[in-house]
Every structure is written in C-alpha cells, then in structure tokens.
Chains A and B, each alone.
Chain A
Amino acid sequence: MRRYLPLAAVALVVVGLQLALQAAGAMYYLTQLTMAAGYCLVSIGLCLLMGYAGQLSLGQAGFFAIGGYASAVLTTLKLDAAAPAARLLARLGILAERRDAFENLLLGVSPWAALLAAVLATGLVALLIGLPVIRLKGHYLAMATLGFGLIVFRVLLGTRFLGEADGIGGVPALPLFGLEVTGGKAHRVESYYVAWGLVLAALLLAVNLIHSRVGRALRSIHGGEEAAGALGVDTARYKLATFIAGAVLAGVAGAFLTHYNGGIGPSEASSMKSVRYVAIVAVGGMDNLWGTLLAGAALSFISLRGYLGSYDDAFFAVILIAVMLFFPDGLLRRARIGRGGG
C-alpha cells in the first residue's frame, strides 16, 4: 500500500494547513486555497491525459466551462413554481428553491441534479470531440484541442442566454449533508474541506487507475504507440477513455467552482486558462501526479492572491518556456518530490 502514502501525506497537509491558518487568524487564505483546489482537479485530469496517455490538450478550459455553465444555467433557471410538472420534479428533488439577494423565492434545478447534468454534458461533448481528436498527433492535436476550447469560448461570448461577455451570476450554494459549498465566510471551512476532499478522491482514482491494467496500458501507449498497438493494446479506446476522464474532472471542477463563486464567466474558457493548466502539468512533471498537485496548488494560489499583479500571464509563460527548455521532465522531479506515479 506504499502507493497510498502520498495521499495520506496530502490529507495531513490539507488538515494541518487549515488548523495552522486558524491558529494564525489568517483563515481568509482558505478562499484562494479552495479555488486552487478546483484548478488542481483540472490539472490532475490533464496530467493523466498528457503524462499517461501522451495526449496534449490545449482545450481543458473548454470542458471546465461546459461543466460550470451547465450548473450555472440549470440552477439559475426561473421556473414557474405553479406548473404541475414543476411540482412533481420538485418533489423528486430535481428542482429546488433558492433565495436571491432580495429574499425572493425562485425555482431552479437542484444543484446535485445540475452537477449530474454537468458531468453528463461534459462527458458527452468529450466523447464527440474525443473520437476524432485522439486520431490526431502533434501539431494537429494541439490545434484541434485549442480550436475546441476557442469554439466554446466564442459560443459563450455570443449567446445571450449564456450571459455573453458577462457570464452568469446568482448561482446558489451546493448543499452537502447539511453543509453548504459557497464562498461566504460562514462556509469557508466546509467548502475548503469539500474541495480538497474532491481532489483527494480524484487522486485516489488516479492512483488506482495508474496501477491497474488500464494504467499499464496507458503507459505502454505513452512509451510507444505503435509498439503498444502491436502488442494488442486497444490504444484508441484507452486514449478516448482518458480523454473523457480528464474532461469530466475538468467539468466537475467547473461546476464546483461555479457554486463556490456564485457564478461563472467566459474567461474560464479562454485559451490562456488552458495554457495555464498545461503549464502546471509541465512544471509538475508530465506523469507526476504529486508534482502536478503541488504545482497546481502553488501556482493557482499565487495567481489568485494577485502577488504578481499584471505580470501574472508573463510569469506563467516564462515558467512554461523555462520548464520546456531546461526541465522537460518537470521542475519538481528535479526537486525530488514524488517519484512518478508511485
């Protein structure tokens, strides 16, 4: 069970950090740490895709946005509460009431049903896009994924009911066993733990995946696709499955952060965001889950805190280039944090 040790270490750090911040009276950092967790989730998915299936994707932000917008649109619907269909669905728990800032009662889809829809939507789109995409290689693959992300971005910008340039706001909290995931001060701690719980769950799945048959198949593909194919590995199916998994993780992260922030905007689908995710995975080491986690947490946190001011994007570009030039195996591999997949 050595492979699960890092997971335990991560869990310890997560709890320890929260307690330390509480003691230092600096709990407001939890906001950025929670948001960083969401972005880590995307990066983990991308790590599996890039590091294990060997597929570059410059379009993860598109999946993030699909998941987030699906949640946002569904939970901010203003349905007619009197309609019989509405009452039935509300009884089934698919619709839920919420209060807006003016204490009005509105009826929309319940957050969990919307989350499910977000997962399905992201998975479906990933399947449709993935089928042609996995056959591409090199620059064509890069461009296709970039183009996909940009189309999502453009469609979001151009569609009125998706909020066009301003996105969607007023998204309610995500309820969880009496807790609520939302950005307010009162729910800071529980949101933090839910976020990092999600990350740990994703890591658990990833670790199990890597050490299973599927994981070995993926590594064989990454090592040499033709050879793997010659050995009877169904490369297309595994690459597609990883693509969809990465997309769904991004979609879940999108939905989570949308509830946390109470809204989402088209900038989440921008190509710059996709580049950031790639940068995080590159810095952490393409197939290094723990490195990716650390890089994702640190870089996202720094960016969200605004420590770099207007040099934020330039900073990401510099480390991206530096890593690709000097540390193609990832910065953190050099620093000996983690060792590949375990």
Chain B
Amino acid sequence: MSRPLGWFRVLVVSLVLAAAAFLAGAQQNTVKIGAILAVTGPASNLGAPEAKTLQMLVDQVNGAGGLLGRKVQLVLKDSGASPEKAISFARQLIEEEEVLAILGPSTSGESLKIKDVCQEGQTILLSCAAAEAIVNPVMKWVFKTPQNDAFATLWIYRYLKERGLTRIGVVASNTGFGNGGKAQLEKYAPENGIQILIAEVYDKEATDLTSVLTKLKAREVQAVVNWSIEPAQSLVAKNLRQLGMQVPLLQSHGFGNIRYVEAAGQAAEGIVFPCGRLLVADVLPDGHPQKALLLDYKKKYEAQFGEEVSTFGGHAYDAFTILAEAVRRAGSTDPARVRDAIEGLKGFAGTAGIFNFSPADHNGLDMGSFEMLTVKGGKFVLLKP
C-alpha cells in the first residue's frame, strides 16, 4: 500500500535533512555574527546598503587577520521587513547558529518585536533602527546605533524657531519610525513655541500625496515637516512644489541618501534636515575625530559598490565596528563580557557621531551627533547658520 511507504519516505528525508544541518553547523573556530536586514522588500533602501556595508567590513577584518585571530563569519538573513520572519530568524540565529550578536534589524518595527527574544536569549542586539523605544526603557542586551528621533526633532525646532516659523504642518509615514517621529514632534512642540496646525499619517507605499498636502496648504502652514524613511520623502517634496507651495520643507534624518535627492530633482533644493556627518565628510575640519573614518568608509564603499554612501549603511558600519571594538577590549567572545565592554565604550567615533555608552544609555549619541544639512545644486551641503 502506498500510504505508509509515503510517510516513511518523509520521515527518512526529514532525518537526513536534520542530520545534514546539524553537521553543517558544527563548530569551527570562527566568530559568528548574525545579521537580520531588510535587503529586499519595502525597506530595501535601508537593508541593502546595510548588508553591503557589513559584507565589506567583514571581508576587511578577515583580510587583516580576523577578530582576536579568528575568522569572522557573517550569517545574514533577509527579513524583507517582515516582523514574523525577523522573529523566526532571531530564534534561528540565537538557538541554532549561536551567534555572538545580532546586527540589525533595519526597521524600528522589527527591532521592537525581537527585543524580547534577544533579551531572553542573552544575545547582544545592535539595532540599526532609530525608534527611541528600542532603548528606552533600557534592556540589558539591546543597543542601537542610529541617533534618537528626539534629537532630530530638537534640531528641527531650533531651526524653525530661529526663523520665526512657528505654525507648521506635519506629515509622517505609518511606520514605527514615522509615528515615533510624529510623537516626538508633538511632544516637544509646546515647549519650543511651535504650533502643529495639522498632522497627517500617510501609507508608506503612497504614490500621490497632493491630496493630503492640499489640506496643509489650506491651513496655511509656514513650514512642512516630513518624517519617513520611504521613497515617499521625495514625493512629498515634488508634490509640495507642484502645488505651488513655497514654504520650507524639513525632513528627518531618514533623508540621508542621495537617491532621494535625485528622485526629487529640483524639488529637493532647499530641503533642510538634521543628519550625521557622513554625507558632508569632505567639508569637515581636518582634525575632526570622525573625518578620517568617514572618508575611508565613503571611498571604500563607493569603489566597491558603485553607489553613493547613505546614512543607513553607516548605522550598520557603526554596529559592526562597535561590536568588533568591544570584542577586542573584552579580549574574548564571551557574550556577557562583550556586552559589558560595549557599555563601557566612551568617545568611540562612528559614522553617526561619537558614541558614549553607559548602563543607562544604550544608544550613546547626543545632540552633537547631528549637523543641519541642506540640498544645494543636487548635493548635500552643510547648512550655513
């Protein structure tokens, strides 16, 4: 009878697969680092540069003799910005691959979902996502490398106050990042004398924003603040100008990829946003602690991948270099010792700023990690005060 034989075949195949996987995962003398990034899918603008950066850095480190004399093995999983895949991969990386640390995920939504898994599994998480909620309240094993949206907000408000633009409109995407930013904007508005006349949330895959911007125009806002990481950032700029609105447009630190400027074309001129110094590395004074590493990263990345650097890749850069430095200082790959070493890092120069970690601060960046940038002639330049 075919039925029992069919099931027997299945059983044998499963056992063989299990054995094979077990053998494949047998320990070699490597340092295993896991990464969960949104290489494809809706957040690919974040994950793809992050993955490339990690690959580049791992090759670099291995070429120079590895970490503590051992080769680094990067186990990269493409989550496609899907939280349940992120959870499944996190468990896989922790329980099966037994990685030292997980770098990523790319989005705030995914990071918030796997926080608990990493905490429970006592595996270091170095998130490349920006939401403050990731490290506040602080979880022992969870860190993040992008700057806090709170600081970005304060920089934006400082700019607006200086120019007497106090009645603004806010548009944000419906992601954790967008909503996080909107929440911060709303939180800090009163104490900065800013009045948010209208705040709207749009779908992150929106293709036309003229309708919602028409609403802002009708309320006669003096400036528009957009908070998103999607390509819609360019759409806001274009639709705004096409509607004949001349008011200033401010973006979040999610604007830090030249592709957004290219996509918006002329509409990008004059956009102001807070950002890490990666994009204006060449105009920094020579003694600046970040200048050398920024230029080095920029040169190597652009040579290897033929595309301009973005701040997103920078977050992955920071995550890896922080981990590597912590391993060196701890002198071991014992997760607890490395974790302690991360917390002890002070004055560590990264692409996003100078990191000063502590048991109460698992992000390590402050207001000084930002500069105000603007777009001029299709390029990112420092905003002259």
Contacts and interface: CB of A to CB of B under 8 A. Distances in A.
Interface of A: 5-6, 9-10, 12-13, 16-17, 20-21, 24-26, 28-29, 31-32, 35, 101-102, 157-158, 160, 164-167, 169-170, 183-185, 257, 261-265, 267-268, 294, 304-306, 309-310, 312, 335-339
Contacts of A309: 78
A310 B78 contact: yes
A196 to B, nearest CB: 14
A170 B40 CA distance: 26
Interface string B161-185: 0000000000001111011000000
A236 to B, nearest CB: 35
B3 A337 contact: yes
B92 A305 contact: yes
B243 interface: no
B88 interface: yes
Interface string B106-129: 001100110111011100000000
Contact of A6 (B3, B10, B174): B3
A6 to B, nearest CB: 7
A17 B14 contact: yes
A265 B204 contact: no
A215 B120 CA distance: 47
Contact of A13 (B7, B92, B117): B7
A14 to B, nearest CB: 11
Contacts of B120: 184
A9 B179 CA distance: 50
Given A32-B88, A166-B113, A169-B113, 20 more contacts: A9-B3, A9-B7, A29-B18, A29-B96, A101-B119, A157-B174, A157-B203, A158-B201, A165-B204, A166-B83, A166-B108, A166-B176, A167-B83, A170-B116, A262-B113, A306-B77, A337-B2, A337-B3, A338-B3, A338-B6
A16 B10 CA distance: 11
Contact of B201 (A25, A32, A164, A257): A164
B11 interface: yes
A167 B178 CA distance: 14
A156 to B, nearest CB: 10
Contacts of A268: 84
Contacts of A26: 18, 21-22, 96
A24 B26 CA distance: 12
Contacts of B11: 13, 16-17
B39 interface: yes
12 contacts: A13-B7, A20-B18, A26-B18, A164-B201, A165-B109, A165-B173, A166-B109, A185-B121, A262-B116, A265-B83, A304-B88, A337-B2
B293 interface: no
Given A20-B14, A185-B121, A165 B3 contact: no
Interface in B24-51: 39-40
B137 interface: yes
A157 B176 CA distance: 11
Given A24-B19, A304-B88, A336 B2 contact: yes
A235 B82 CA distance: 39
Contacts of B385: none
Given A20-B15, A267-B83, A337 B6 contact: yes
A5 B201 contact: no
B8 to A, nearest CB: 9
B85 interface: yes
Contacts of B88: 31-32, 35, 304, 306
Contacts of A166: 83, 108-109, 112-113, 175-176, 179
Grouping DSSP codes into helix (H, G, I), strand (E, B) and loop, the B interface class, with mixed when no group exceeds half, is: helix
A262 B87 contact: yes
A66 B48 CA distance: 32
A16 B82 CA distance: 32
B139 interface: yes
Contacts of B112: 166, 169
B66 interface: no
B123 to A, nearest CB: 12
Contacts of A35: 84, 88
A-B interface, 7 closest residue pairs, ranked by CB to CB distance from nearest: A166-B109, A265-B83, A28-B96, A337-B6, A28-B95, A166-B176, A165-B175
Interface-centre pick from A160, A257, A306, A338 (highest chain B CB count, 10 A): A306
B116 A306 contact: no
B270 interface: no
A305 to B, nearest CB: 7
Given A16-B11, A31-B95, A184-B120, A24 B85 contact: no
B289 interface: no
A166 B22 CA distance: 34
A261 B84 contact: yes
A5 B117 CA distance: 39
Contacts of B78: 306, 309-310
B55 to A, nearest CB: 14
